[in-house]
């Protein structure tokens, strides 16, 4: 027996998922539930709904922090889930003639949903959309970007979306989608078991013991007999490297400074799991390259946030103090954000001394801002250089990481 709204109006609230739901999966056998959500037994290729990081950027305008309903932490990654309720609009027509948009009352009379609810997952640190549960032409579309799979995002989206639309037709499953809905069904039944709902219903005569046994027996199992369940272990190695170790290392040469995270010691593992592109850029904190041109060393290329770039500039002024200061000619052509950071550095009277001189070399009479450290050159640059050299000696036997740090820093400053 399947409980519908008309049959359950006097039943406890737990029989109903929401005002629009007709059935609760936990009161159906797996076979009954599956037939309801995929009546034609339709399947799609596993690659049919593959999406990459950035493909869901269109949802950013619909994310409202007031609508956050859940936050979970997977190792170093914080995931936030949002509920997005969108007002539906349907056209009224008399044959070919357009009569305007239906009112709420007209939609109710026509049996149409006034609102459509979607659920969106974002990376809480970056605001980057990572997945969502959406309506796709009346069917269910649950997507997670490839780079963030195996972190439990799909599991949470299935739970949230199916709690809102338990009986909505799927439109067909990929293999991974089918595995998720099997686990969701078992999870739903387990909630009824854990909360004593089946026992309460049997006691009140709302369901028979035999029916409950039929439901429990129908739960999907693996070949080894174990029930299919959501994994408590998150398999993606991304969470291990996300954000790095927050341990900065300083690779210093005569004309370049690279500030990077010690997590790059796991370069081989990042490469093995195809995480280099996703993780590595975040592990380069700052890069500064100086060109010896005309009368003074010039900042020729750089990258980094205000704090780390300031440190890189400071170290370079220590190195170039005896060469007449660190010039700013080339940076007028830099990215606007980098220029803003450098402008702040070149007006920071607490840390640096700034002198304005006219170049007498190839760029004759061009006014240059020259940066000097206030204190006498210290041993800091030498100490940091030695520390990083020792780190490379221990972790980079074949100089792969050293080369990778340079190549990665160069790529971040190129258009």
Each residue's pLDDT tens digit, 172-209: 999 999 999 999 999 999 999 999 999 999 999 999 99
pLDDT of residue 359: 64
Which stretches of 202-304 are assigned E, i.e. beta strand? 248-252, 256-261, 284-293, 296-304
pLDDT for residue 332 is more than 70: no
pLDDT band, very low/low/confident/very high, at 375 (cuts 50, 70, 90): low
Question: Residue 305: which pLDDT band, with cuts at 50, 70 and 90?
Answer: confident
Measured distance CA(404)–CA(271) in Å, rounded? 11
pLDDT at 77: 94
pLDDT at 22: 58
Angstrom distance (rounded) from CA 332 to CA 336: 9
pLDDT confidence tier of residue 16, bands split at 50, 70 and 90: very low
Give the chain's mean pLDDT: 86
Name the region of 127 (left: φ>0; alpha: ψ -120 to 50; beta: rest): left
99-113, 307-321, 372-386, 391-405: which has the minimum mean pLDDT? 372-386
Residues 6 or more apart whose Cβ sits within 8 Å of residue 364: 358
Residues 6+ apart with CB under 8 A from 63: 82, 84, 120, 122, 127, 129
Indicate the pLDDT class of residue 234, thresholds 50, 70 and 90: confident
Q: How many residues comprise the chain?
A: 415
pTM of the predicted protein model: 0.78
Q: Which residues pair with 93 in a beta bridge?
A: 98
Supply the pLDDT for residue 169: 93
Buried b (16+ CB within 10 A) or exposed e, 219-253: bbeeeeeeebebeeebebbbbbbbbbeeebbbbbe
State pLDDT tens for residues 129-181. 999 999 988 899 999 999 899 999 999 999 999 999 999 999 999 999 999 99
pLDDT at 378 over 70: no
Q: Provide mean pLDDT across the span 73-93.
A: 91
Span 349-368, pLDDT tens digits: 788 888 888 766 656 667 78
pLDDT in tens, 249-286: 999 998 999 999 999 999 888 888 888 888 998 999 99
How many whole angstroms separate alpha carbon 308 and alpha carbon 260?
10
**What whole-number distance in Å separates Cα of residue 309 and Cα of residue 258?**
10
Does 21 score more than 90 pLDDT? no
């Amino acid at each position: 027996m399947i409980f519908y709204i008309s049959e359950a109006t006097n039943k406890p609230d737990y029989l109903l998922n929401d005002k629009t739901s007709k059935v609760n999966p936990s009161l159906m056998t797996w076979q009954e539930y599956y037939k309801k959500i995929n009546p034609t037994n339709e399947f799609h290729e596993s690659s049919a709904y593959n999406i990459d990081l950035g493909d869901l950027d269109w949802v950013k305008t619909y994310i409202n922090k007031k609508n956050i309903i859940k936050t979970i932490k997977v190792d170093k990654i914080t995931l936030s889930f949002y509920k997005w309720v969108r007002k539906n609009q349907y056209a009224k027509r008399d044959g070919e003639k357009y009569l305007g948009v239906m009112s709420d009352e007209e939609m109710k009379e026509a049996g149409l949903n006034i609102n459509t609810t979607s659920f969106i997952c974002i990376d809480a640190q970056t605001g980057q959309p990572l997945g969502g549960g959406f309506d796709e032409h009346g069917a269910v579309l649950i997507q997670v970007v490839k780079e963030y799979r195996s972190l439990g995002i799909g599991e949470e989206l299935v739970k949230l979306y199916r709690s809102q639309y338990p009986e909505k037709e799927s439109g067909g499953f990929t293999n991974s989608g089918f595995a998720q809905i099997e686990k969701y069904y078992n999870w739903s039944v387990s909630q009824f078991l854990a909360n004593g709902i089946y026992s309460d219903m049997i006691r009140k005569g709302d369901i028979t013991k035999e029916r409950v046994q039929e439901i429990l027996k129908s739960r999907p199992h693996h070949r080894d007999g174990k029930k299919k369940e959501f994994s408590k272990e998150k398999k993606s190695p991304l969470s291990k490297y996300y954000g790095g170790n927050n341990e900065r290392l300083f690779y210093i040469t005569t004309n370049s400074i690279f500030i990077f995270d010690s997590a790059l010691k796991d370069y081989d593992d990042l490469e093995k799991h195809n995480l280099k592109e996703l993780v590595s850029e975040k592990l380069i904190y700052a890069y500064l390259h100086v060109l010896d041109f005309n009368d003074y060393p010039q900042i020729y290329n750089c990258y980094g946030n205000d704090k780390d770039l300031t440190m890189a500039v400071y170290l370079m002024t220590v190195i170039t103090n005896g060469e007449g200061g660190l010039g700013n000619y080339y940076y007028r052509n830099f990215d606007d954000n980098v220029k803003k950071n450098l402008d702040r550095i070149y007006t920071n009277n607490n840390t640096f001394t700034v002198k304005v001189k006219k170049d007498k070399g190839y760029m004759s009479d061009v006014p240059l801002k020259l940066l000097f450290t206030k204190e006498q050159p210290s041993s800091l640059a030498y100490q940091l250089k030695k520390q990083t050299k020792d780190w490379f000696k221990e972790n980079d036997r074949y100089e792969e990481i050293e080369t990778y740090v340079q190549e990665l820093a160069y790529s971040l400053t190129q258009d």
